[in-house]
Structures are given as structure tokens and as C-alpha cells.
Amino acid sequence: MSSIDDRIVQVEVHFGVRFPQDYRDFLGTTGSLSQFVPPADDFLVIDALDELIGNNEAGEFQKRFPGAVVIGGDGSRELLAYDFRQDTPPLVTLDVSAEDWSSAIHQAASLSALLEHFPQTGWNWDETNPSPS
């Protein structure tokens, strides 16, 4: 096992989850992302592995959103999080000031699906119409 694999396992143990394979692969190759994504021209941030624990603890996200692991966001108020309350955790956005899961907006069934459709669609802002995954 490589050192990045060891570190991924340490972070998973910290949160008590197992990250989906496509996210583990992303962490081991690309690592992080912070850019405007054309042509949607929405800003997408995916945090580096070494930032995950600190970023999640700083916002006390697990207290407000039990089962959430924040992995990034829009560079502003919207947080991109896995919803580990489900067996196959989807990606959702949560407003930084939200108190609970009621404000979660489905973004994609997986990181691969998000990265595939994000350049065309950008963020989904409408919780009544989940984006296709």
C-alpha cells in the first residue's frame, strides 16, 4: 500500500466511513481541484486529503449533518459533501449556515458523475429536481 493509500485509510477511520472508489482514485491521482469550470463557469473546489479533517472539524459539520463528510464546495457558501447516511453515498450541497439536512441539494450519485456533468450543468440549485446521475 502506498503512503497516499495509508493516509486515505487514516482519514476514513477518523470519519468512520469508506470513501467511494472513484473518490479514492481522485485523491490518489489528481488530489484536489479549485477552478472555474467552463463552459458552465461555476467554481468547483475539491479539497486535498490533508485538509478534510480540519475543514470538517472547523465547521462542526458532523454535529449539524450526522453522516456528512465535506469534501469541497463552490468556493463560497455551498459545501460539497458525501451523505453517508445512505449505503451508496451521493454528493449533495449544504449551505454553510444550514442547521440540518433539510437544506441538502442532490448534486450527483458519485464524484465521477459530478465531474462528468459539471462542465455542462454547473451546480444544481433546485432541490425539487435532482440532477441526473
- What's the pLDDT score for residue 129? 45
Cα–Cα distance list, 112 to 13, 14, 96 (Å): 23, 24, 24
How many Å is the Cα radius of gyration of the chain? 14
Decide if pLDDT at 131 tops 70.
no
- What's the pLDDT score for residue 21? 98
pTM of the complete model: 0.91
- The per-residue pLDDT for range 23-75, each reduced to its tens digit, is 999 999 999 999 999 998 999 999 999 999 999 998 888 899 999 999 999 99
Decide if pLDDT at 133 tops 90.
no
**Per-residue three-class SS string for 97-122:** CCCCHHHCEEEECCHHHHHHHHHHHC
Distance CA 98, CA 79 (A): 10
